[in-house]
Amino acid sequence: MTKQQVKDQFDRPLRDIRISVIDRCNFRCQYCMPAELFGPDFAFLPRSELLTYEEINRLASIFIKLGVEKIRLTGGEPLLRKDLPVLVEMLSNIGGLKDIALTTNGVLLPKYAVLLKKAGLKRVNISLDSLNDELFGSINGRNVGVGPVLKGIEAAKNAGLGVKINMVVKKGLNDSEIIPMATFCKEQGLELRFIEFMDVGSTNGWKMDDVVTKKQIFEILDEHFEFEPLDAAYYGEVAKRYRYKGTDVYVGFITSVSESFCSTCTRARLSANGQVFTCLFNGNGHDIKDFMRAGVSDEDLEARIKDIWNHRSDRYSDERTEETRKSRKKIEMSYIGG
């Protein structure tokens, strides 16, 4: 495949795409899909509105032609989408793709990890915000203890998948779990990603006072561990990474609130119902599903995606103020993935 390299208004290349395959989830995490808003009567997307696997594969092929090297599958909970390994196999066979990963809560990995690995999946990021059963059950809104997630982690490791753990830290909720989580992941040889509580969407009740910054988390860790800072492994790497001294185990920080990385953001997002979003914090999507289903050619699709990226000027975290936070239309994380 002959690749192009499209760039946006700030000369940022398109290199990554996050593809949401479903808007449903079996958890109701407070920072993403709070149960009081996403209740039994909540209207999720009908099946006809979801992109088919063939449509996702077609679009992914075009994104890769335009410079994308990495795909991450998200949700909702992506493993709720029927026969997901079929999609993984389709995507992994596209020439020019270097990496395909999955973000999941891990509960269904014992059933699917081996199938996903055989299909071509390389890595999983598993969300785990506490090792305390009661607290974790409260956070996920389903009273699910830590056990099912730990079984998912083990299943992924046994299947030969790379594993990283995502922990969203919220002040007064689970900041007491920073050291237990770091200790557990270090002992298990798992890379832990501390994620600052972000103002994604409008349903999670975000307040700056609830944010535990990377600097604050690092100061807590530094009392217990010794670290060596690492240079970015590639242009656009989101996590600021460190190594525990004397080990090959890493810890990373996703600092969207306190240390913006807008200037090197290379990510596009494709929602489950076929809208392209050029920023996690921008609720103005660009329809691609209806355009595609109207019978257009691959060349037309390529031109539309190129035009969307060429006109991209998003830098929300650079510009975040109380005024912009309240005035800007946003998309919910449960709809578009993290």
- Residue type at 213? T
- Per mean pLDDT, which range of 29-38, 62-71, 245-254, 283-292 is the poorest? 29-38
pLDDT value at residue 330: 61
Quote the crossing angle between the two packed helices 214-222 and 178-188, to the nearest 10°: 70
pLDDT value at residue 207: 82
- Enumerate the β-bridge partners of residue 103: 125
Mean pLDDT over 298-310 rounds to 98
E strand spans, 75-122: 99-104
pLDDT value at residue 43: 87
Q: How confident is the model at residue 59 (pLDDT cuts 50, 70, 90)?
A: very high
Q: Is the pLDDT of residue 323 over 60?
A: no
Q: How far out from the chain centre does Cα 93 lie?
A: 22
pLDDT value at residue 148: 98
Mean pLDDT over 227-242 rounds to 90
The Cα angle at residue 25 between residues 187 and 63, in degrees rounded to 5: 85
Q: What is the CATH number that goes with domain 16-336?
A: 3.20.20.70
Average pLDDT, the chain: 92
Percent residues over pLDDT 90 in the chain:
76
Sorted by sequence, the CB contacts under 8 Å of residue 110 that are 6+ apart come out as 151, 152, 155
Give the global pTM.
0.94
User: How is residue 45 annotated by DSSP?
Assistant: P
Percent residues over pLDDT 70 in the chain:
93
User: Exposed, middle or buried, 271 (CB in 10 Å: 0-12/13-18/19+)?
Assistant: buried
Q: Is the pLDDT of residue 2 over 90?
A: no
Q: How confident is the model at residue 320 (pLDDT cuts 50, 70, 90)?
A: low
Q: Of 286, 275, 279, whose CA–CA distance to 314 is shortest? A: 279
pLDDT value at residue 141: 93
> What are φ and ψ of residue 20, in 5° steps?
-85, 125
Q: What is the tens place of the pLDDT at every residue in 192-218?
A: 999 999 876 666 666 888 999 999 999
Q: How confident is the model at residue 328 (pLDDT cuts 50, 70, 90)?
A: low
Q: What is the tens place of the pLDDT at every residue in 257-281?
A: 888 889 999 999 999 999 999 998 8
- Enumerate the β-bridge partners of residue 279: none
| Kind and range of the H or E run holding 92 | helix 84-92
Distance between CA atoms of 153 and 110, rounded to whole angstroms? 8
Q: What is the tens place of the pLDDT at every residue in 120-135?
A: 999 999 999 999 999 9
Q: Is the pLDDT of residue 301 over 90?
A: yes
Q: What is the tens place of the pLDDT at every residue in 108-167?
A: 999 999 999 999 999 999 999 999 999 999 999 999 999 999 999 999 999 999 999 999
- Per mean pLDDT, which range of 24-38, 194-208, 237-251, 291-305 is the poorest? 194-208
Q: Of 45, 185, 55, 82, whose CA–CA distance to 125 is shortest? A: 185
Q: Is the pLDDT of residue 34 over 90?
A: no
- Residue type at 123? R
Distance between CA atoms of 324 and 262, rounded to whole angstroms? 16
Q: Is the pLDDT of residue 256 over 90?
A: no
pLDDT value at residue 322: 59
Q: Residue 95's CB: how many other CB atoms inside 10 A?
A: 9
pLDDT value at residue 96: 95
Quote the crossing angle between the two packed helices 53-65 and 84-92, to the nearest 10°: 30
Q: Residue 111's CB: how many other CB atoms inside 10 A?
A: 12
Mean pLDDT over 30-43 rounds to 85
Q: How confident is the model at residue 179 (pLDDT cuts 50, 70, 90)?
A: very high
